Amino acid sequence: MFYWRTTFTSAPGAAPVELGFTGRSAGRGSGAYAGLNLGGHVGDDVADVEANRKALAHAVDLPRERIVFMNQVHGCDVVEVAGPWDGETPAVDAVVTRESDLVLAVLVADCVPVLLHDADGSVLGAVHAGRPGMVNGIIGRAVSAMRDLGATRLHATVGPSVCGRCYEVPDEMAAAAVSASRSAAARSWTGTPAIDVAAGVVEQLAAADVAVQWVPGCTRESGDLYSYRRDGRTGRFAGVVLRRAVAS
């Protein structure tokens, strides 16, 4: 189920933080959505998507309702959550929380999934950072929101995404990305203008004094991950972060 998974514990007695990125194995999807598609907005069978989300809940040993997904719109809004959504899922691209046993999930198929946590595990965040989000400041907004909740030493885990060699774009789009983050400058496999969104995100995180762990993998090049650039009609994999409650 997981393409990559780890547990972070800063010190004895601190709340452990679990982080992971799902892959395409062990899922109910078929055809274009073969594997563990967790995206409910891409045309897949609703029952299959829900079965996959329940399988994810089982894998992290929490009730399905404790997984918080977003209605991602390539915007810059950040919302604090304290539990499952009450009513309609809001249109946001980052969520932060101080709650334990609550999974924050970000869905991607080329965009950059960013999982954030304070060193003591007290504040968590999940960010959907596509090209528009990187250019318009979603990373800085999410970091600020977490610091407003008391985070002092932030760590970021940047997940697999489309690499710069595989993200060919028009000249003006490349220039806009570089104006937001110089590290986003790239060239495609054929030497045309391209964007390395993940490198831009990492630069922005470092500039905000956030420690970074970068999980390798290009979505377009890896059959273990969904990629919109490669396939067009496809599913979504997830980045997930949660803090386990510490037994008293």
pLDDT, tens only, 167-211: 999 999 999 999 999 999 999 999 999 999 999 999 999 999 999
Provide the mean pLDDT of the chain. Answer: 96
Band (pLDDT 50/70/90 cuts) for residue 246 is confident
Q: Over 80: is that where the pLDDT of 12 sits?
A: no
Q: What's the token pair of residue 109?
A: 């198929």
Phi-psi map region of 36: left, alpha, beta (phi>0 left; psi -120 to 50 alpha): beta
Pairing type for strands 124-129 and 112-118 reads: antiparallel
What is the predicted pLDDT for the residue at 247?
Answer: 65
Q: Over 70: is that where the pLDDT of 248 sits?
A: no
What is the predicted pLDDT for the residue at 80?
Answer: 98
Band (pLDDT 50/70/90 cuts) for residue 144 is very high
What is the predicted pLDDT for the residue at 245?
Answer: 85
pLDDT, tens only, 46-67: 999 999 999 999 999 999 999 9
Q: Which amino acid is at 173?
A: M
Q: Over 60: is that where the pLDDT of 136 sits?
A: yes
Domains of the chain: 2-243 (3.60.140.10)
The predicted model scores a pTM of: 0.97
Instruction: Please state, for a pLDDT cut of 90, what percent of the chain lies above it.
Output: 92
